[in-house]
Amino acid sequence: MKLIFERSVPGRSTTIFPECDVPETTLPESFLRAEKPDLPEVSETDLSRHYQELSKQVYGVCDGFYPLGSCTMKYNPSVNEEAAALPGFAGLHPLQPVETAQGALRVLRLSEQYLCELTGMDEMTFEPAAGAHGEFTGLLLIKKYHELRGDAARTKILVPDSAHGTNPASATMAGFEVVNIPSAPDGGVDLTALAEAAGPDTAGLMLTNPNTLGIFDRNILEITRIVHEAGGLCYYDGANLNAVVGNARPGDMGFDVVHLNMHKTFSTPHGGGGPGAGAVGAKGDMAKYLPGEHVVEKADGTLAFEKKEQSIGRIRSYYGNFLVQVKALAYILMLGGDGLRDASQNAVLNANYLRVLLAPYCKVAAEGICMHEFVLDLAEIKERTGISAMDIAKSMLDHGMHAPTMYFPLIVHEALMFEPTETESKETLDEAAAIIIELLKMADTDPEALHSAPCHTPISRPDEVKAARTPVLTWKRA
Ligand SMILES: *Cc1c(COP(=O)(O)O)cnc(C)c1O
């Protein structure tokens, strides 16, 4: 399709300004540009057709089934958007006096109270802009804790081999050395390997529970005990909280610091529909080091920001992606405690239902009941037929579904990770399963058709790395 700049015709315009109702002034010369900006000049019809066409090139949660594992692509209720669009929130300026923004501070305060209740933490910050940013923040808290105790020997972070790639990346960015902990045959952490690795150089452990195989680690209390006994701290990657929210709390599992992904568990849009937000919670002493400004309630009931003396400092401008927090709070209030608990139980039920439908046709990476997601292992199918996880994922696109997460976790070589979420109906799961089963059978009967998919998408199989290696980020008029 054409770029909007290519549709531009000099002098064509859409803008009809209202009459000016304030005195006109001129900007100082130093603020004026030498040349007019090169903006596209199009009619309103061209403009709306352009964006309509663009919107048809993408696939979102409102288009159909979107089982992208670990990303929790649940439906994002429209009421969240309405709350965030209220003029009192959307029109706020971050520098306006707090007396005039009490409602916004109340949103942060309430969010903190509910999220602490749900996670078993004592305090929260809303500065981090995403999960990975929250990980980095949490690790700085752990670093600060050891520094303030004068313990410089703790330079290592233990990370299981099933972890999301952001975990070792964040640990490295925070200046730690990463120690890889192998998984046990059941998909959980290998306790012997953990006990051997934990010691006086351990700053902490990063873990997501349930993990990326969708397995709830039954040894979680033993795991956090081993790390604490070695003098380390436990960091909970909360990206998979959708499996347990309202049912189990990381704080009760022994974790000291957690991040939450508002754009996963708490139904705010992801990726192109984002931005996201990654609140970080901390327990006990760790809460003293949280970044930025914390909302406190004064004796007269008004709210104010307070800087923490021992804070690690700012990790983002102002108060994070505030409107995302408004959406998350709208979701929490709409569902309530029982609703949140039901949502995660239904997420687990849906994942198990789909797993049981697919299991006769493909190996599942971890045996037994899963939590919110499960991983198919196509290694045997690939060996026998040449059909890879990629071929099945690409073929799903032709059937109006989004692909599952591919080739993750890294410990499963031909991985397809499915997370249906609670917002899919039984009918949708039945339809999806029937199609996926058909595709898995085609591995034997018609592998060529799978190799050439997708045929019905705007583009077929783009180069996997070209956009990252040779990005083209600007456009110049010829
Ligand atoms: C999504 C995810 C992250 C990172 O979160 P972002 O918000 O994408 O930065 C970390 N860990 C796991 C397990 C995840 O699924």
Q: Which residue has the higher pLDDT, 1 or 31?
A: 31
Q: Does one domain contain both 398 and 362? A: yes
132 Cα: distance to centroid of ligand 1 (angstroms): 6
Pick the last residue of a domain from 305, 334, 363. Answer: 334
Pick the last residue of a domain from 334, 365, 385. Answer: 334
Domain count, the chain: 3
CA distance 25 to 28: 9
165 Cα: distance to centroid of ligand 1 (angstroms): 8
180 found inside a domain? yes
* pLDDT computed for residue 280 by the predictor: 98
Q: What percent of the chain shows pLDDT beyond 70?
A: 100
Ligand 1 pocket, residues with Cβ under 6 angstroms: 70, 130-132, 164, 166, 208, 212, 237, 239-240, 261, 276, 278
97 found inside a domain? yes
Q: Does one domain contain both 414 and 456? A: yes
339 Cα: distance to centroid of ligand 1 (angstroms): 24
Atom of ligand 1 nearest to the CA of 237: 11
CATH of the domain at 158: 3.40.640.10
Residue range 105-129: mean pLDDT, rounded: 97
Model confidence pLDDT, tens digit, residues 325-339: 999 999 999 999 999
300 Cα: distance to centroid of ligand 1 (angstroms): 40
Model confidence pLDDT, tens digit, residues 256-268: 999 999 999 999 9
**pLDDT tier for residue 16 given thresholds of 50, 70 and 90:** confident
Residue range 362-369: mean pLDDT, rounded: 94
Q: Considering Cα of 185, then 188, then 193, then 195, what sign does the dihedral take? A: negative
Residue range 387-398: mean pLDDT, rounded: 97
Taking Cα atoms as reference points, which of 280, 302, 298 lies closest to residue 289? 280
254 Cα: distance to centroid of ligand 1 (angstroms): 21
Q: Does one domain contain both 126 and 244? A: yes
Atom of ligand 1 nearest to the CA of 263: 7
**Domain with 461 in it:** 337-469
Atom of ligand 1 nearest to the CA of 133: 9
Tokens 């000291």 map to which residue? 256
Residue range 107-133: mean pLDDT, rounded: 97
Q: Report yes or no: 119 and 283 within 8 Å, Cβ to Cβ.
A: no
Least confident of 56-60, 130-134, 171-175: 56-60
Q: Report yes or no: 417 and 373 within 8 Å, Cβ to Cβ.
A: yes
Other Cβ atoms within 10 Å of 190 Cβ, number: 18
* pLDDT computed for residue 58 by the predictor: 87
Q: Does one domain contain both 352 and 317? A: no
Atom of ligand 1 nearest to the CA of 261: 7
* pLDDT computed for residue 1 by the predictor: 86
Atom of ligand 1 nearest to the CA of 72: 15
Q: Does one domain contain both 182 and 283? A: yes
- The torsion angles phi and psi of 370, rounded to 5 degrees, stand at -100, 175
241 Cα: distance to centroid of ligand 1 (angstroms): 11
CA distance 8 to 106: 46
Question: What is the token pair recorded at 320?
Answer: 């994070």
166 Cα: distance to centroid of ligand 1 (angstroms): 7
Q: Does one domain contain both 317 and 344? A: no
CA distance 49 to 170: 42
> Is residue 45 predicted with pLDDT exceeding 80?
yes
Tokens 């290694």 map to which residue? 379
Model confidence pLDDT, tens digit, residues 181-228: 999 998 999 999 999 999 999 999 999 999 999 999 999 999 999 999
> Mean pLDDT across the chain, nearest whole number?
95
> Is residue 14 predicted with pLDDT exceeding 90?
no
Residue range 288-315: mean pLDDT, rounded: 94
275 Cα: distance to centroid of ligand 1 (angstroms): 14
CA distance 414 to 428: 25
* pLDDT computed for residue 476 by the predictor: 82
Which residue, by CA, sits nearest to atom 5 of ligand 1? Answer: 131
Pick the last residue of a domain from 315, 334, 353. Answer: 334
Which residue, by CA, sits nearest to atom 2 of ligand 1? Answer: 239
CA distance 281 to 123: 5
Q: Does one domain contain both 252 and 383? A: no
**pLDDT tier for residue 274 given thresholds of 50, 70 and 90:** confident
Cα separation of the two ends of the chain: 17
Q: Is 130 helix (H, G, I), strand (E, B) or coil?
A: coil
* pLDDT computed for residue 17 by the predictor: 85
Q: What is the DSSP letter of 300?
A: T
Atom of ligand 1 nearest to the CA of 240: 13
Q: Which helix (H) or strand (E) holds 180?
A: strand 177-181
Residue range 246-265: mean pLDDT, rounded: 98
* pLDDT computed for residue 475 by the predictor: 83
Model confidence pLDDT, tens digit, residues 61-83: 999 999 999 999 999 999 999 99
> Is residue 13 predicted with pLDDT exceeding 90?
no
> Is residue 254 predicted with pLDDT exceeding 80?
yes
* pLDDT computed for residue 281 by the predictor: 98
Q: Does one domain contain both 254 and 322? A: yes
* pLDDT computed for residue 192 by the predictor: 97
